[in-house]
Chain A
Amino acid sequence: MGALCVLCASVVKPFSPAPAILAPFQSALHSAGPQAASIEHLWWVFFWICVAVYVITIAFFFIAAIRGRRREVAVDNPAHDRRLGIFVSTCAAVTIATLFGLLFSSVATGNAIGTFANNDPRQLEIEVTGHQWWWEVKYPDALAPANQITDANEIHIPIHTPVLLRLDTRDVIHSLWIPNLHGKRDLIPGRVNKFRIQADTPGVYRGQCAEFCGYQHAHMALTVVAESPEDFARWKSHMGEGAPTPMTPAQLRGQQVFLSAPCAKCHNILGLDAYGTLGPDLTHFRSRPTLAAGQLLNTRGNLAAWIANAPAIKPGTMMPPNQLSGQEMNDLLAYLETLR
């Protein structure tokens, strides 16, 4: 039954991801937090009531079919009419009561989700910005704006902590859907939508754009890593550091390739003279599990293919093909692999 709601949007391509990416499968029926649990509960309430209604309706259908064939219907029988009237009224009353019950549980769930952790002082704020076709994730620091952390296509959250997601978009309407944690919420140009998630079970959960946003809408995934507060703090302090200094000659040459090739026009690397904001921040991008918003495993080979000709892998992507010599490519890869 859970398979009903398992949505695996994977298109097998020459550069298709290994099963490791798909392992954190997404399912609204395997809730990992209170928000998704409310939705899952509502889903099961609707499901079982609908099953009951269906079974009863079909049962009456068969009873009517069988009895109608067996018996003559009495035309003028006031006692029978009265009984029938009471029966139909009772059925209508039960139907209305059931519908109101569903309405009430739906409103109650909506209320529970909407007011979840309102004004909770422990809440963590994260900004998620949709781009065609990747997710930008920022951890703002109100006290020291310079300490803001920028990541892409993955959201790290500590467990048992309400997380307020502020959703914005740079281009078209997207929708963030992490089924194991919450329902969908649209990202609308020109306004900031908010919603709260909370994970109580540590794990990796897949999220997906749920509003058609262009050619590569299906390839706009992200992973949510729910970890213990200690692990989260360790990750966050690591992300706050600049990129490591290249050591070997190849890495140093690669850094120059990065700066002189078109890379630095769009990508940012903390601690380097590269401030582009059009593409994902690359300061620690080798610590991310995937490339191209969940489309490729983050391996050296996939990275080389992506740099050489990204539009061949993801047609329509803003990442242009790059003509590099073999030497330049190897140096660039050697440098990029240090960005952990």
Chain B
Amino acid sequence: MKRPLVCLAIFALVACHRERRPLTPTAADSSRPMPLRMGDLQPGPKQLAATGINNPYEGNAYAISEGQRLFEQYNCSGCHFHGGGGIGPPLMDAEWIYGSSPANIFTTISEGRPNGMPSYGGHIPVYQIWQLTTYVRALGGFEPQGTTSPRSEEMMAKKAEEPK
């Protein structure tokens, strides 16, 4: 009775797969991706932020107005409403869960975020994602004065008038 059980146990071990341990990683494995950092806290000496992708439309008024149109047409306002937030987080306050840099916002739109933000990458052209990015930045008050539409229906964050 005992012998067949031992035989079975040994036989079962035959099927076990021992993982291969790559002790010499290939070049592709060892590349260091430059993440889109969302905070300043880093181990060791500080590294610069990723500069790989730059917003080609930063400060471009036309891109902001196009972004505003797309914001409605692609139903961003369905969750973020007109910047004030509701189902999705507001876009006109100082709090940016996934970062406020153009690259952060681009990634948020193209790749999506947990808990509801859909990924638009592949569904819409890249230049439209950048236009949306620029518009979202304008909602947050990051775009230069005079680039945003004076007749906007949105609650655009505006800087308080400074005393002279």
B127 with A320: CB separation less than 8 A: yes
Of A260, A265, A320, A321, which is within 8 A of B74 by CB? A265
A311-332 CB mask vs B (1 if < 8 Å, else 0) is 0000000001110000000000
B127 with A265: CB separation less than 8 A: no
Beyond A260-B122, A262-B123, A265-B123, whether A320 also contacts B73 by CB under 8 A is: no
B73 with A262: CB separation less than 8 A: no
Helix, strand, loop or mixed for chain A's interface? loop
Which residues between 92 and 114 of chain B lie within 8 Å of chain A, taking CB atoms?
none
A321 with B125: CB separation less than 8 A: yes
5 A-B pairs whose Cβ atoms sit less than 8 Å apart in the complex:
A260-B122, A265-B124, A320-B124, A320-B128, A322-B125
What CA separation (Å) do A265 and B70 show in the bound complex? Answer: 12
Chain B residues contacting A262 (CB-CB under 8 Å) are: 123-125
| Min C-beta distance of B112 to chain A, whole Å | 15
**Interface size class of chain A, counting residues whose CB lies under 8 Å from the partner chain:** under 10
A320 with B122: CB separation less than 8 A: no
Give the interface of A toward B (CB within 8 A). 260, 262, 265-266, 278, 320-322
**Interface size class of chain B, counting residues whose CB lies under 8 Å from the partner chain:** under 10
What CA separation (Å) do A265 and B125 show in the bound complex? Answer: 11
B54-86 CB mask vs A (1 if < 8 Å, else 0) is 000000000000000000011000000000000
What CA separation (Å) do A278 and B71 show in the bound complex? Answer: 13
Find the A residue at minimum CB distance from B120. A265
Specify which of B74, B125, B128 lies most central, judged by the most chain A CB atoms within 10 Å of its CB.
B125
| Min C-beta distance of B105 to chain A, whole Å | 19
Chain B residues contacting A265 (CB-CB under 8 Å) are: 74, 123-124
What CA separation (Å) do A135 and B9 show in the bound complex? Answer: 75
B73 with A278: CB separation less than 8 A: yes
Find the B residue at minimum CB distance from A132. B69
| Min C-beta distance of B1 to chain A, whole Å | 60
Give the interface of B toward A (CB within 8 A). 73-74, 122-125, 127-128
Chain A residues contacting B74 (CB-CB under 8 Å) are: 265
Chain B residues contacting A320 (CB-CB under 8 Å) are: 124-125, 127-128
| Min C-beta distance of B10 to chain A, whole Å | 50
Number of A-B contacts (CB under 8 A): 15
What CA separation (Å) do A260 and B124 show in the bound complex? Answer: 10
Find the A residue at minimum CB distance from B128. A320
| Min C-beta distance of A172 to chain B, whole Å | 12
Chain A residues contacting B128 (CB-CB under 8 Å) are: 320
Specify which of B73, B127, B128 lies most central, judged by the most chain A CB atoms within 10 Å of its CB.
B73
Find the A residue at minimum CB distance from B123. A265
Find the B residue at minimum CB distance from A263. B123
What CA separation (Å) do A260 and B121 show in the bound complex? Answer: 11
Chain A residues contacting B73 (CB-CB under 8 Å) are: 266, 278
Chain B residues contacting A321 (CB-CB under 8 Å) are: 125
Find the A residue at minimum CB distance from B66. A318
| Min C-beta distance of B11 to chain A, whole Å | 47
What CA separation (Å) do A265 and B74 show in the bound complex? Answer: 8
| Min C-beta distance of B114 to chain A, whole Å | 23
| Min C-beta distance of B120 to chain A, whole Å | 9
Chain B residues contacting A322 (CB-CB under 8 Å) are: 125
| Min C-beta distance of B149 to chain A, whole Å | 14
Chain B residues contacting A266 (CB-CB under 8 Å) are: 73
Find the B residue at minimum CB distance from A321. B125
Find the A residue at minimum CB distance from B125. A320
Chain B residues contacting A260 (CB-CB under 8 Å) are: 122
Find the B residue at minimum CB distance from A323. B125
What CA separation (Å) do A114 and B19 show in the bound complex? Answer: 84
What CA separation (Å) do A322 and B122 show in the bound complex? Answer: 11
Specify which of B74, B123, B127, B128 lies most central, judged by the most chain A CB atoms within 10 Å of its CB.
B123
What CA separation (Å) do A321 and B124 show in the bound complex? Answer: 10
What CA separation (Å) do A278 and B73 show in the bound complex? Answer: 7
What CA separation (Å) do A305 and B124 show in the bound complex? Answer: 19
Chain A residues contacting B122 (CB-CB under 8 Å) are: 260
What CA separation (Å) do A321 and B122 show in the bound complex? Answer: 13
Chain B residues contacting A278 (CB-CB under 8 Å) are: 73
Find the B residue at minimum CB distance from A171. B69
| Min C-beta distance of A276 to chain B, whole Å | 9
| Min C-beta distance of B14 to chain A, whole Å | 44
| Min C-beta distance of A273 to chain B, whole Å | 13
| Min C-beta distance of B49 to chain A, whole Å | 29
What CA separation (Å) do A265 and B73 show in the bound complex? Answer: 10
What CA separation (Å) do A320 and B69 show in the bound complex? Answer: 14
Find the A residue at minimum CB distance from B74. A265
What CA separation (Å) do A321 and B74 show in the bound complex? Answer: 17
Known: A262-B123, A262-B124. 13 other contacts (CB 8 A): A260-B122, A262-B125, A265-B74, A265-B123, A265-B124, A266-B73, A278-B73, A320-B124, A320-B125, A320-B127, A320-B128, A321-B125, A322-B125
